[in-house]
Structure 1
Amino acid sequence: MKKLLAIASLCLLLGGCAGVPVSHYQAAQPVLDLPRYFNGTVDGWGMFQSRSGEVVKRFHVVIEASWAERDGRQVGTLDEHFSWSDGTTSRRVWTISRDGERGFIGHADDVVGPARGETAGNALQWRYVLALPVDGRVWNVDVDDWMFLVDEKVMLNRSAVSKFGIHVGDVTLSFMKRPAP
């Protein structure tokens, strides 16, 4: 009986982790065109919250984004400059390319292996492993990153961060695209 109860509990736990597929947003408007939105300068304001909900860090990020044709493929560069609430700064440079009609593959120095993304309607879901420095050590954490285009200038972002399948926190972020000069 105990084994049956343990198996049933595990199935319920794993079933609850499935979430909504990105295809659920296929009809949502406006349609997110990733190269169109992330082209030029984009500002972002966000925070990291621990699993208890405590705001651990806040940040501002300025993204300089551009796309170019390379070897017959459209490749994007997102050069992100972070200013953190504790006075520190950091930088991440993404290189992104298409992977099929709705897919994208991304690479950055602090991302372990490729990031894989898929768009549908106004949504983009990224999944990747981030090498995150914590108290002098580096943790490889799983990131389930969702972006939702609100209008041509505003996008909202929510990322769930976990380690060994255990939820450790969330990142909430709002982007605003600057007008072209």
Structure 2
Amino acid sequence: MKLVKSFLIILIAILLISCSSSSKLQAYKNSEPKLDLQEYFTGPIKAWGIVQDRSGKVIRRFDVSMIGSWQGNVGTLKEDFIYYDGETQQRTWTITKIDNKQYLASASDILGDAEATVEGNAMRWVYEMDLPVSDTTYRIKFDDWMFLMNDGVLINRSYLKKFGFTVAELTLFMQKQ
């Protein structure tokens, strides 16, 4: 009986958490300017970012050059990262529009599909990846929240989670060129 109660409590907690994130996104339904993912991720974009550990200390800084293109409902977003410590990295996303609010995306270093939902000026993008740190690799869940601002600026707040706990945060400022 104890096991059944524990299972039910965990199940209810998971349902509440998933409903909570969905309802949080709904809060932006009428927010302007409206985010059109295909429009925003077409052409060149410049970005600047930081990664903070769980204490808030900035542990990495980086610049990103992106270029996006679409053919019908399938888009490609190429990212070139230059970290301030000299490391470089590339990632190419393939983004598929499911409907006006739902997208699926994949990249070679992403586990499975990334799922994105857009409401008003906001988008939530959730995915997992194996993140190398020093000599170890950690499976991390990314919970990205993007907010379209005026003048072609998109702010991305990403919460990096392990076992449901935020272990780092990433902040990225993007601007269409």
TM-score (norm 1): 0.85
Give the RMSD, CA atoms, in angstroms. Answer: 2.1
The residue number in structure 2 matching 1:76 is 75
Structure-1 separation of matches of 2:50 and 2:109: 19
The runs of at least 4 consecutive aligned structure 1 residues that moved more than 6 Å come to 13-17
Structure-2 separation of matches of 1:47 and 1:139: 19
Gapped regions of structure 1 (runs ≥ 5): 1-9
Structure-2 separation of matches of 1:49 and 1:132: 15
- Structure with greater helix percent: 2
Residue 99 of structure 2 aligns to which amino acid in structure 1? G
* 1:46 matched to 2:49: yes
Instruction: Work out the number of aligned pairs and report it.
Output: 166
Q: 1:1-181 alignment to 2 at 5 Å?
A: 18-19=20-21, 21-69=24-72, 74-178=73-177
Gapped regions of structure 2 (runs ≥ 5): 1-9
Structure-2 separation of matches of 1:163 and 1:87: 27
Q: Equivalent residue of 1:25, what SS?
A: coil
Structure-1 separation of matches of 2:109 and 2:17: 29
Structure-2 separation of matches of 1:21 and 1:109: 30
* Cα deviation code 1:104-148 (max 9, x no counterpart): 000011110100000010001001002211112221100110110
Identity level (%): 38
Residue 117 of structure 1 aligns to which amino acid in structure 2? A
